[in-house]
Structure 1
């Protein structure tokens, strides 16, 4: 991505960081059930979009990374998914 495109991403998705060619964000919830419920909501959105995140969960912490592997980098699909995920919290 060009520097101008990265700057636009930062402005568009301020809660996310651009790291190693991916969009990344972490959420900390009160407990495991809240973290898991968030992941279920994201799973339904991702499945509907046909675009699935790289993610991990450790008790109350959920980490999500977005990148379009088959296209070798970030795409508009990653940005749209990030925006949808922001609405799940």
Structure 2
């Protein structure tokens, strides 16, 4: 099982994840796409990346906005897997 990150480690990581915010024991980012189909394409691309990592985010789709919530449920909080997936989502979504 992945080890939980300390508050200091999470705060340090958030300095490199400027589009993300901490919400309790999770990281959250909302991406607004130009169109609804573009939002669905992003969800599909993130799903493929998450599947390859065997680490799956919660995704909430509201028209052109997709909110990603990352936490390692089996560990009870944030782990390095969440940071890795956050960076991958940033690559796929592009700048805010």
TM-score, reference length from structure 2: 0.87
Q: Which runs of 5+ in 2 are unaligned?
A: none
Counterpart of 2:86 (choices 60, 82, 89) is 82
> How many residues are paired up?
89
Counterpart of 2:34 (choices 24, 30, 33) is 30
C-alpha RMSD of the superposition? 1.1
Counterpart of 1:43 (choices 43, 47, 52) is 47
CA positional deviation for 1:9: 2.0
Higher helix share: 1
CA distance in 2, matches of 1:76, 1:2: 11
Structure 1 counterpart SS, 2:15 = helix
What's 1:13 paired with? 17
CA positional deviation for 1:6: 3.0
Structure 2 counterpart SS, 1:83 = helix
Q: Which runs of 5+ in 1 are unaligned?
A: none
Question: Which runs of structure 1 show a deviation greater than 4 angstroms over 4 or more consecutive aligned residues?
Answer: none
CA positional deviation for 1:65: 0.3
Structure 2 counterpart SS, 1:15 = coil
